[in-house]
A and B are shown apart, each in its own frame.
Chain A
Amino acid sequence: DAGITQSPRHKVTETGTPVTLRCHQTENHRYMYWYRQDPGHGLRLIHYSYGVKDTDKGEVSDGYSVSRSKTEDFLLTLESATSSQTSVYFCAISESNSGGLYEQYFGPGTRLTVT
């Protein structure tokens, strides 16, 4: 998984509780992303970061916030979890390759269940 770890790998939480997922990389890549994957949908971008303290919203950012205080760590926070946020969450990293393309490498995923 290209030097990317996610924690926790599985979590069950109750509606209304805050949840933080962590992505850690050892590749020193500039870009980091959070996606969610749900049945019937392709991977959807939640938030991304283009550097330390530089983040921006993706297509499904409502209810989520992120922070990146170090190059290697990207945190995703659900301020008040809802059942609609039950999903598998993937972190990805990217950097420009020799051809100028930004290959994305994905972490192993975190399965979150909100009851």
Chain B
Amino acid sequence: KNQVEQSPQSLIILEGKNCTLQCNYTVSPFSNLRWYKQDTGRGPVSLTIMTFSENTKSNGRYTATLDADTKQSSLHITASQLSDSASYICVVSGGGTSYGKLTFGQGTILTVHP
């Protein structure tokens, strides 16, 4: 069964600190991996999309890495801000006959304290 597991489930950090969120997946065949940010009461917003040939991608203070061999990804947030408080969702898109089928992780809830 295709699965996406994220850790930790929740994380509290102080403003200005860095943090790293983890994502492990079993989706096969694999097409691409996405990270979304979801603010409370709103829909998810895309941060990055990476195909199997990309092992790092940045979007401002967000940097995602991908190791397609070990089926792991991470999202690193640099110099956190209060506005980074949100749920971060890892999503894997299948390939082959499952092309475009998305499997969602449950998300990591990040809280940034002043």
Contact = CB atoms under 8 A, between A and B. Distances in A.
B86 to A, nearest CB: 13
Contacts of B93: 101-102
Interface in B25-54: 32, 41-46, 49, 51
A60 to B, nearest CB: 12
Given A42-B89, A103-B49, A108 B43 contact: yes
B104 interface: yes
B89 A101 contact: no
Contacts of B51: 99, 101
Nearest to B87: A37
Given A43-B89, A101-B32, A101-B49, A108 B42 contact: yes
Given A41-B106, A42-B104, A42-B105, A105 B42 contact: no
Contact of B41 (A40, A44, A106, A109): A109
Given A101-B49, A101-B51, A109-B41, A43 B32 contact: no
Contacts of A40: 106
Interface string A82-113: 00000000101000000101111111110000
B102 interface: yes
Contacts of B45: 106
A45 interface: yes
Chain B, interface size category, equals 10 to 19
A55 to B, nearest CB: 15
A1 interface: yes
B4 interface: yes
A1 B46 CA distance: 11
Interface string B89-114: 10001000000101111110000000
B46 A45 contact: no
B44 A106 contact: yes
A64 B93 CA distance: 24
B78 to A, nearest CB: 24
Most buried by B among A4, A44, A102: A102
| Residue among B51, B89, B106 with max Cβ neighbours from chain A (10 Å) | B106
Given A43-B89, A109-B41, A104 B104 contact: no
